[in-house]
């Protein structure tokens, strides 16, 4: 399969060598020779239409028509007419009959992009076409037949639309005969620089200019950015920096000047790394955020301890512990150090300070007997519980304003809304 994949990449101009990309491409090659319905999923800008063209051009229908229809761009009142046609006088403005796409592309392939935005009544018509190959023009009573292969694509989660009664469950299973997940750009970071070089060279050839180069530090910035707009955003950046760069060697300072947003890295909060349908979360970033929170808590604890010591003029007899807790305090063998009320340090060998009576940091044991023994409870390390807690804190901080809370968490407002429903949190 490897030589065949390389040949297909060259033929259709696909750049990349990541495992996720190769898996999606090999699935498209295998299903191309059949007439099975395919559902391509992935974020906006990942190249879902390219996969639909690959499937069509490798299929027995390659000599017939191929048409791409954006279901989200067609008004709800005219989409039925666009897809299935209409009869003269069937509605206001229908001055003549019109053939729909399913009629004109008979024997070919229809690519339905953003199928999740299709109205419910249109979904019923589409389901009938997929199951029987029959359809009706708007305003007609005569049933017509068509032999069209349907490839659908979506950048939203259809299961959520099904739960909201905005997408038919039976249509979903009919479309999802063979699913293909096109990976986001951040899931194939090893391909970012290869794609960028391709776009830079294409731009330089188009405008007869010398292509720019990137320093290692600039390349690291680009490979660590999440690219929410995916390949489309990367191409726009390549053209932008090719025009705005003063020197042909682009540094990290040039990126900071012309595209400062690339230096910002959001830390989204995931639920399940392996089963999350978003497929857009980085476990390492979550661990970083948890470590940052732990460091903040530790600093607050240090401030509390030293505040108690200074306000009560207490002694710390253990130099090892002092050196570990407060950087900059040096250990002296054979002597003990004290923190005094004036925040200075006192040594036994230093005669300019008056020796003070030793007082313990902890209260007397007799007082400790007044308290019952406490039970140590292990902290819940579930990532879901951590995520739930962080969402609750963010909502409480911004008085349930989801937009500001989502911005604080580094996720979209739609994702936050889905998480609130998932954990059954008060809105």
CATH number of 381-422: 1.10.10.60
Identify the pLDDT of residue 275. 43
Pairing status of strand 143-145 against strand 149-154: unpaired
Burial of 175 (0-12, 13-18, 19+ CB in 10 A): buried
Calpha distance 133→240 (Å, rounded): 47
Calpha distance 394→410 (Å, rounded): 11
Calpha distance 94→140 (Å, rounded): 13
Identify the pLDDT of residue 411. 85
Considering the domain delimited by 186-263, tell me its CATH architecture.
Orthogonal Bundle (1.10)
Tokens for 230, please give them.
């995916």
What is the location of CATH 1.10.10.60 in the chain?
Answer: 381-422
Residue (of 191, 215, 206, 381) closest to 389 by Cα position: 381
* Residue 16 C-beta-side C-alpha neighbours within 13 Å: 25
Which residues neighbour 10 within 8 Å (Cβ) at sequence distance 6 or greater?
A: none
Instruction: Collapse the DSSP code of 363 into the 3-class scheme (helix H, G, I; strand E, B; otherwise coil) and give the result.
Output: coil
Identify the pLDDT of residue 317. 53
What is the location of CATH 3.40.50.300 in the chain?
Answer: 2-183
Identify the pLDDT of residue 318. 52
Residue (of 313, 347, 314, 343) closest to 330 by Cα position: 347
Identify the pLDDT of residue 176. 94
pLDDT along the chain (427 residues), means of 10: 84 92 95 96 94 96 96 91 91 86 96 96 95 93 94 95 95 96 94 95 93 93 93 95 91 90 61 44 60 73 74 60 50 43 44 45 47 52 76 85 84 83 79
User: Can you give the pTM of this predicted structure?
Assistant: 0.61
Residue 49 carries which DSSP code? Answer: H
Identify the pLDDT of residue 316. 58
Instruction: Collapse the DSSP code of 114 into the 3-class scheme (helix H, G, I; strand E, B; otherwise coil) and give the result.
Output: coil
Helices 383-397 and 402-409 cross at an angle (nearest 10°) of: 130
Tokens for 298, please give them.
């530790």
Identify the pLDDT of residue 345. 44
Calpha distance 46→154 (Å, rounded): 11
Three-class HEC string of 285-313: HHHHHHHHHHHHHHHHHHHHHHHHHHHHC
Identify the pLDDT of residue 399. 85
Please, what is the end-to-end C-alpha distance for the chain in angstroms? 50
Identify the pLDDT of residue 95. 82
CATH superfamily placement of domain 2-183: P-loop containing nucleotide triphosphate hydrolases (3.40.50.300)
């Amino acid at each position: 399969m490897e030589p065949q994949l390389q040949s297909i990449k060259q033929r259709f101009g696909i750049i990349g060598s990541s495992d996720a990309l190769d898996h999606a491409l090999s699935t498209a090659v295998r299903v191309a020779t059949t007439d099975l319905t395919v559902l391509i999923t992935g974020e906006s800008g990942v190249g879902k239409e390219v996969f639909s063209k690959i499937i069509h051009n490798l299929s027995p229908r390659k000599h017939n028509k191929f048409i791409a229809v954006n279901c989200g761009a067609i008004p709800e009142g005219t989409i039925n007419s666009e897809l299935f046609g209409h009869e003269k006088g069937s509605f206001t403005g229908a001055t003549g009959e019109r053939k729909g796409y399913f009629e004109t592309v008979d024997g070919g392939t229809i690519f339905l992009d953003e199928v999740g935005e299709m109205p419910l009544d249109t979904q019923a018509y589409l389901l009938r076409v997929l199951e029987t190959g029959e359809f009706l023009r708007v305003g007609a009573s005569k049933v017509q037949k068509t032999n069209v292969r349907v490839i659908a694509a979506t950048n939203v989660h259809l299961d959520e639309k099904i739960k909201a009664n905005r997408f038919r469950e039976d249509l979903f299973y009919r479309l999802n005969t063979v699913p293909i997940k096109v990976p986001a750009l951040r899931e194939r970071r090893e391909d970012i620089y290869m794609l960028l070089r391709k776009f830079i060279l294409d731009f330089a050839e188009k405008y007869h200019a010398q292509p720019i180069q990137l320093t290692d530090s600039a390349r690291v910035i680009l490979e660590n950015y999440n690219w929410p707009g995916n390949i489309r955003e990367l191409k726009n950046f390549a053209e932008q920096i090719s025009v705005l760069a003063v020197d042909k060697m682009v540094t990290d300072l040039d990126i900071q000047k012309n595209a400062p947003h690339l230096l910002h890295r959001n830390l989204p909060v995931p639920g399940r790394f392996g089963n999350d349908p978003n497929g857009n979360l980085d476990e390492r970033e979550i661990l970083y955020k948890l470590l940052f929170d732990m460091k903040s808590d530790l600093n607050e604890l240090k401030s509390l301890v030293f505040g108690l010591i200074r306000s009560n003029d207490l002694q710390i007899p253990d130099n090892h512990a002092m050196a570990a807790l407060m950087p900059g305090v040096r250990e002296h063998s054979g002597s003990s150090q004290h923190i005094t009320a004036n925040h200075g340090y006192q040594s036994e060998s230093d005669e300019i300070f008056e020796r003070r009576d030793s007082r313990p940091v902890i209260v007397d044991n007799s007082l400790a007997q007044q308290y019952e023994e406490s039970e140590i409870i292990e902290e819940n390390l579930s990532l879901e519980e951590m995520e739930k807690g962080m969402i609750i804190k963010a909502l409480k901080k911004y008085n349930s304003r989801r937009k500001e809370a989502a911005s604080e968490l580094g996720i979209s407002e739609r994702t936050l809304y889905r998480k609130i429903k998932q954990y059954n949190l008060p809105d």
